Amino acid sequence: MSKKRIALIIVVCSIFLFVGITLSIRFVAFREADGKIVFNKASSNADSRIYITSAMGFPTTPLSAKGEWDVDAILSPDGTKIAFECQIPDVRLCIMNSDGAHRVRVPQAGNRVMFPNWSQDSQKITFESGGIFVVDVDGSSLIQLTKSNDRYAYWESIWSPDGRKIAYVVIDGDNWEIYTMNSDGTEQTNVTNHSAGEHSPVWSPDGEYIFFVSDRSGDDEIYRMKYDGSNIINLTNSSETDDELGSISPDGKKIVFSVHDHNLPPHEIDVFVMNIDGSGRERLTETPGYDSKPVWGPNGKHIAFISGRKGDWAVYIMQANGKFQTRISYGLAAQGVSWQP
């Protein structure tokens, strides 16, 4: 046997060995990481497609046709449906099954559709389009919950766990406030009522608290308050960093969030975790560059996030302690992650 042939055999065997070891490590690290992961990838200004995959990273299936512009994809809590913004031929809220079938375009014209979000029973969707709207899962019964007002912008509507309340952001010039209302649009209440900028509301799993981001202390910090706006507490309380809220663990005990140190370049962002009272702050990622947009997996043992550590934005997952950080998307620029059972 020639030396070239032997060298080729060695190279091929080495590749198979490397792949086998990699898959074995991934299986051991993430064998309990169940559910579906959805994200969108943009290849150009005229093409953004939604993809679905598992925590193992395969199979990865495109759910949008080439040439579509589908963004802000979010899985329903039961994992059966996806709500997203579709922009071709015009801007709409779209809904489809998690396998890409039965795509429905909600007949909402006018302003851009943004921030779709699901009720916890997976039966209704709120979104922003010059006001907060709600629609049934089949695209019917469209109702506007807040009045249209050229002075205001509305963002980030989030359902309470019991479906009775919706938290959302009202922007009036430079003033950003968090409001709550009943799910039928009644009792719209400013619960932050502060001259600073407040945004990114997230409910605790028991519905007793709302977590949010505010710059009332001079930089972006994560706060917690009772659902009625009382007992506001600064959880991060760090003048050296800007902290951006990710999500609350399914058991309600932990917060995953991203942090930018003021002493580092703007693109240097890492993922941290802490207890819901602000104690036990722990850094999970330490690679140069961008690690952000973290979300908990359904069982609370894993975290997905977007990273630019390899020069392009991709979806990564890791164990909740930061170990086994593993890339699960390839090619193009991944944006946003939604992970449900």
d(CA 26, CA 31): 8
The number of folded domains in the chain is 3
pLDDT tens-place string over residues 157-194: 999 999 999 999 999 988 999 999 999 999 999 999 99
User: Is residue 4 over pLDDT 80?
Assistant: no
Residue 331 lies in a domain: yes
Cα dihedral sign, 280-284-290-294: negative
User: Is residue 2 over pLDDT 50?
Assistant: yes
d(CA 135, CA 236): 36
16 lies in which domain range? 1-31
Q: Residue 320 belongs to a domain with what CATH number? A: 2.120.10.30
304 and 295 Cβ atoms separated by less than 8 Å = yes
d(CA 28, CA 303): 16
Residue 228 or 87, more confident: 228
d(CA 326, CA 25): 10
State the average pLDDT for the chain.
Answer: 89
* 156: helix, strand or coil: strand
pLDDT tens-place string over residues 82-139: 999 998 777 889 999 999 999 999 987 556 788 999 999 999 999 998 899 999 999 9
pTM (two decimals): 0.90
Residue 58 lies in a domain: no
251 and 205 Cβ atoms separated by less than 8 Å = yes
Among 213, 239, 265, residue at a domain's last position? 239
User: Is residue 47 over pLDDT 80?
Assistant: yes
- Quick one: 92 and 19 in the same domain? no
- Quick one: 105 and 118 in the same domain? yes
- Quick one: 148 and 202 in the same domain? yes
Residue 149 lies in a domain: yes
d(CA 254, CA 112): 34
At residue 8, the pLDDT reads 53
At residue 5, the pLDDT reads 64
> Of the candidates 162, 112, 111, 106, which has an alpha carbon nearest to the alpha carbon of residue 136?
106
Among 193, 211, 239, residue at a domain's last position? 239
User: Is residue 152 over pLDDT 90?
Assistant: no
At residue 34, the pLDDT reads 87
Among 180, 211, 239, residue at a domain's last position? 239
Strand order through the sheet with 333-340: 61-62, 47-53, 36-44, 333-340
At residue 79, the pLDDT reads 96
At residue 140, the pLDDT reads 93
- Quick one: 84 and 222 in the same domain? yes
Residue 94 or 29, more confident: 94
> Of the candidates 285, 233, 277, 296, which has an alpha carbon nearest to the alpha carbon of residue 260?
285
At residue 243, the pLDDT reads 97
- Quick one: 294 and 339 in the same domain? yes
Residue 317 lies in a domain: yes
Name the amino acid, one letter, at 176. Answer: W
- Quick one: 189 and 301 in the same domain? no
